[in-house]
A and B are shown apart, each in its own frame.
Chain A
Amino acid sequence: MKIIIAGAGAVGTHLAKLLSSEKQDIILLDEDEERLETLNSNFDLMTHIGSPTSINCLKEVDVKSADLFIAVTPDESRNITACMLASNLGAGKTVARIDNHEYLQPKNKDFFKELGVDSLIYPELLAAEEIISAMKMSWVRQWWEFCDGAIVLIGVRIRENAELLDTTLSELSSSESPFHIVAIKRNQETIIPRGKDTIELNDIVYFTTTKKYISYIRKVTGKEDYPDVRNIMIMGGSRIAARTAEYAPDYINIKILDTNIDRCNRLSEALDNRIMILNGDARDMDLLIDEGIRHTDAFIALTGNSESNILACLAAKRMGVAKTIAEVENVDFIPMAESLDIGTIINKKFITASHIYQMMLDVDVSNVKCLTFADADVAEFTVKKDSRVTKKTVQHLGIPKGFAIGGLVRNGEGILVNGDTQIKEGDHVVVFCLNTMIKKIEKLFN
């Protein structure tokens, strides 16, 4: 599959690296030679210096043979123009990054399609959606849906009060348990657990389950007394903050703090009156106490400065805020932030890239769907006729170490897998494996 990425900014570069490791043909287009230089030598991709809105340049990279054209320069109108040019020059599918949610309205979708822009991506909105879902399910660390929600993957941190603490997996899976533990993250390391492994304190445990058993998982992990988020404080009036405030459910009270008065004014003009905009520094403890940090259920730090965000979240945790969310744009800080026990990390680049990635997979004809998740790969296979997995029940398959079947979807219905399950042709199977194993597993299903 040939993919052209226009704009070697943070999102573009991340996406290019991600896709090149998937053995796709990537051409990265940018006007700035310096930005491209290191990429060209270190990764398996081609770079091209030139403007994405130049017809000549697009012809040079042979845009008409491209299956996917992704425009992720910082300028919205430039992205749209580039996509229009590319699709008219013969590119297969085009994706443009935008900063205007008016364009995203469903009624405008066909309009953009006619212009030649197949999909629009608004990173700030995606980030806001992630934050809102994190607040709605505040006890969950991570949440992922497969096959339109037939199977759900949730990551939960185990505390002292969890029923599951210190039990082995074989004890749990022996009964007809309504969930399946597919991965455990323990001190930076991800384990695909076997029957002998036990669940320890401070593990982040990844469960696959169907939607009706989520409350059961909440119970066994001891999160039932976890407060529902009703009052939140947002530090930094960024665009993500504005979109979060806009799309948050009405029962949530929101306070946004920003030090810049102009930005406060703009937010106050743009947002509904129920959202309180405060002009002040969210690192000022007296102000936070005055504004009721002690009754706040979630603290979200969304300034442009990753360090400040992390520190502010830590301070909020010390003040007793149960849920903290920090925007960390600096990729190197993410593991550190996780180890500092910050509830949810928001990274615009990752969110955007994974969104584009999923979109790309939709156009892909192969049956492997894959995304990187907590250092492990989650892959979705469609089982082919006469493949090896259909010959025996799961326990007799001789599944290699570092590999787990999370669940399967048969006729649109999510089914959890245990030892006696017989996989059939046509099932969608969700599997988990450590990074390098995906090719090996592919053989099982083909």
Chain B
Amino acid sequence: MTLDPRDAVATGGVGELVPAATEQAGAPMRQANLWRDAWRRYLQNKGAVVAGAAFLAFAAFCLLWPIMSPYDIKEDPVNFSEAYEGPSLQHPLGTDQLGKDLLTKLALGGRISIAIGIGATLAILLIGVVYGSIAGFVGGRLDNIQMRLLDALYGLPYLPFAIIVLAIIGTNNLWTMVIALSIASWFTAARIVRGQVITLKENDYVRAAKAVGARWYRILSRHLLPNTLGILIIAIFLELPGVILGEAFLSFIGLGISPPDASLGSMAQEGRAVYRVHPNMIVIPSVAVALLVLCANFIADGMRDALDPRTRETKEH
């Protein structure tokens, strides 16, 4: 096979690539090479790399900064004389209306928003995977019923249902937000998984496994799901922006995390009341949300391009 010259380019310490078509030609393709290939292609996408780095950096900041920070938002006393200060050496982003450090508050808010985002996304995937793989794998009448049900569920308006679910649960903490945001948005994931499972089911190696008598869970776990994994990872980063924005919107109308915890959305809502005099109070959390969303989008694009060569952009016009 002719080697595409692009594949021979190494980018920054990836390790061995697909080796030159010499000793290894003809050997069975292992999945590991698929991932390394994808990784390499991902790294070629400058936007995706920058986005990935930014996302990781922000997540690390949110995770670590509150631990390292000299301020403790929950324990420190309310200090009105230091309220609404601008950026300074002690407070790089300034302070809020109770005199608490904004940088630390941003990190804590980011923690919550990211946690809700990832939590809801994982929940969506979990439900979607379970539902979709059952439907796709079993097929027949069960599949039919499940798909009809899904059609019906599609009719549920997403945000109103999230609001109702939140009202039912009562308290608004991390877990309830995760539940509310995932409950009405797992349908597409289920469809994708089902579609994938159906396509892959007909593959030769699955048929072979069945012919040999492999149990269904073995087929599912060994063959079908790992191949779907790529799609699922992309799906994570595609769902993430929607969930983060959804959480921001819910917080904005007051249905978000209850104080004293704050998410980026609730910080933005509080900030809006004073935007005339202290615009940073709304701009900073909104920019943080935008950052997360943008990065997730670029990462998703990058991964999609990396894992599915067909959608790679043509170099000519």
The answer to whether A binds B is no
